[in-house]
Amino acid sequence: MKKIFIIILAVVFGMASCDSYLDINQDPNSPTEDNVNSSMIFPGAEMNLASSYGNFLRIVGGYFAEHYVQLFGTSNYLDYSKFNMSATRSSSTYTQLNARCLKNLQIIREQSSASEEWGTYLAATTLRAFTYQALVDAYGETPYTEALDVSNPTPKYDEGLTVYQGILSELDEALSNVSTSDIVCTNFLFGSSSVNNWIQLANALKLKILMRMSDVQNVQSSLAALIAEDNFPTSDVAWTGIWSDESGKASPFYQEEFATYFGSGQVNIGANIALVETMKATNDPRLRAFFDANSEGNYVGGVSGTNFSTDRTIGEKANCRPVASYSMPVYLITKAEIEFFLAEYYARYGSSGNAESHYIAAIEASFATAGVSGASDIYTLHYPWDNTNYKQIIGIQKWIALSGTNNFEAWCEMRRLKYPAFGSISGDDMYTEGSGEFNESLYVPATLYTPINVNQDLGSNKVLQRFRYAESSANRNNNAPENKGDGTPVFWAE
């Protein structure tokens, strides 16, 4: 296991940001599809997903959710801070997810189906569904029904709802075949051959898929059956305990933004005033768990859309970095997310008491993940349950909870639930570039604001709704549709 870990991670993370490295199944120096087995390639599929989801998607999600800002003196992610996503910026990640993750999972599914290894089949199907959901949530539409066929270089882009319905059917089929006595091939996620954790993860993924579909399709009966089964993960699901403090082996977000393995000490990501002031308003101890204080021991967030390039004093004042370490987990889904979905289900379908219980459990779970106490102050003093405004209450608390674990999912849920909502203050109100004045006191907690120099195709008081189709796919595919516009919601947020 350790030998596979070293080989796979060195290949994946050592070149994860490059477009040119080959899929491990196409490398002439690697085994061919005819003589590999699932245990040889499943860890590679996992690590390609982890490096994309736990790094690029975490970073952009943090900027689009107004968790992050660009710090003084650098401009690496300044476009994200302005709610921009070009067709070029996501191309490498799009290719990695398709050619190096989904392709490998397809091979595993084919092999395990032929040999009736239903535990491994379920695990591969679950990660496949997870990956396709992330692609839909980012792009809105993506090749699915005609994807991954090397004989078809121009697959059609399927509508997001079509993909969601397809992956839901795939999960149902895989779950129907598996039994608790089945085993799973070598994997990093759970580190064992037991299939039970994968069954629970598949159910949690179904819950997320169905809840995101629930505003556009009647899925109440499917949700009721799933929730009645009550077989979800009882703790956070994450790649953890497998990272080490070496180049190519560290947790991907840390390696990208904090490590100096490659000789760079560049600093990019800081805390956003929206998140910092919202958490300070309730004395939320998770702020200290999610971000480091600045050099003066204070928590001050920066403003989206600028990097204080002409105001060093203000830029350094706002220098509160995310807490990160080489061993930090890459979360697929947390216990808090599951509980928030369950709270929403009961709020929507008629049981305020159950909704409140799961809402409380969600906040308690978030505090447990952060390793801090005091959750009861949040749900009793500051954000008590209100069934008539469940989307607002859940939306704000989910946005906070995900800021330290899963920023991409926070961006997804704020688009769907429409909370936090925009306030009346803009980024320009709080800071005028070059002025030397930073009026952070104007910010109203639990609201969003329009970034300075915001994406003009989007306009004021709007969250970026989707990525533009990846250049690496659309430029080579005559079937790629025209981009729908940065403000056009994906299907579940319409």
Q: How far apart, in whole angstroms, are the C-alpha atoms of residue 6 and residue 101? A: 18
* 421 vs 15: which has the higher pLDDT: 421
20 CB burial (10 A radius; 0-12, 13-18, 19+): exposed
Considering only residues 29 and 428, tell me which one the structure prediction assigns the higher pLDDT: 428
Q: Any idea which of 102-111, 171-180, 255-264, 367-376 has the lowest mean pLDDT?
A: 255-264
Gap between the Cα atoms of 337 and 439, Å rounded:
34
Q: Helix (H, G, I), strand (E, B), or coil: what is residue 448?
A: strand
For 266-308, write each residue's pLDDT tens digit. Answer: 899 999 999 999 999 999 999 999 999 999 999 999 999 999 9
Percent of the chain scored above 90 by pLDDT?
A: 87
13: pLDDT strictly greater than 60: no
What pLDDT sits at residue 148? 94
Three-class secondary structure of residue 201 per DSSP:
helix
Q: Per-residue pLDDT for 20 more than 60? A: no
- Does residue 198 surpass a pLDDT of 90? yes
pTM: 0.93
Q: Which helix (H) or strand (E) holds 8?
A: helix 2-14
Give the pLDDT confidence score for residue 263 in this predicted structure.
77
Provide mean pLDDT across the span 132-153: 96
Q: Which residues pair with 331 in a beta bridge?
A: 238
How much is the CA Rg of the chain, to the nearest whole Å?
A: 22
Lowest-pLDDT choice from 9-18, 124-133, 189-198, 439-448: 9-18
180 burial via Cβ count (<10 Å: 0-12, 13-18, 19+): exposed
